[in-house]
Amino acid sequence: MKRIMIVGGPGSGKSTLARRLGEALDLPVFHFDHIHWKPGWTPRPDEEKQALVEEIIAGETWVLEGNHSRSYVLRMARAEMLVFLDLPRRLRMTRLLRRWLKYRGRTRPDLPEGCPEHLSLEFLRWSWNWDRAKRPTVLRLAEESADRLVIHILRSPAEVQQFVEDAGSRSARLRTR
């Protein structure tokens, strides 16, 4: 697989998985937060986001992670694989709090410079409601795309770990042939 789309609720580990897959499969990694945000937590205009997504997915190889639902269909049309991190809400919320504590006031690796980590009540609410608001769309699109995409729905950290290990070992076997 050379074009991989990763989606999941906030705190599900999309960025971490993207980095790990990029390393294991020697693919370039793109974080949607870099597409969406400019320094100072300023959102890009929709036209700019669309152009950046189109530029990335026109490439032959990529791992693109993020939840910009307006570009799901566009990204899925070019992806070969969809990975949906469908982890429990309680785990995701705990991870969000841990991430905030770890990076508070600093820019984490999957964000553009000038976007120091912060945690707002609005973001926590959006994160809490993600399962109800966004999850059904991801599941529906995955089902509709199952005939042309390899789909992995991972529901636990152990499944994510096994997925990365399997991807890495498959990649290593292909490189030695």
53: left (phi over 0), alpha (psi -120 to 50) or beta: alpha
SS3 88: coil
Q: Which residues pair with 5 in a beta bridge?
A: 64, 82
The per-residue pLDDT for 171 is: 61
Per-residue pLDDT 10s for the chain (177 aa) are 899 999 999 999 999 999 999 999 999 999 999 999 999 999 999 999 999 999 999 999 999 999 988 899 999 999 999 999 999 999 999 999 999 999 999 999 899 999 999 999 999 999 999 999 999 999 999 999 999 999 999 999 999 999 999 988 876 555 544
Q: Can you count the helices (H) and strands (E) in the chain?
A: 9, 7
Residues 6 or more apart whose Cβ sits within 8 Å of residue 171: 24, 25, 26
Structure tokens at 69: 């639902």
Question: What CATH number is associated with residue 65?
Answer: 3.40.50.300
Task: Give the total number of structural domains in the chain.
Answer: 1
The per-residue pLDDT for 86 is: 98
Domain that holds residue 70: 3-176
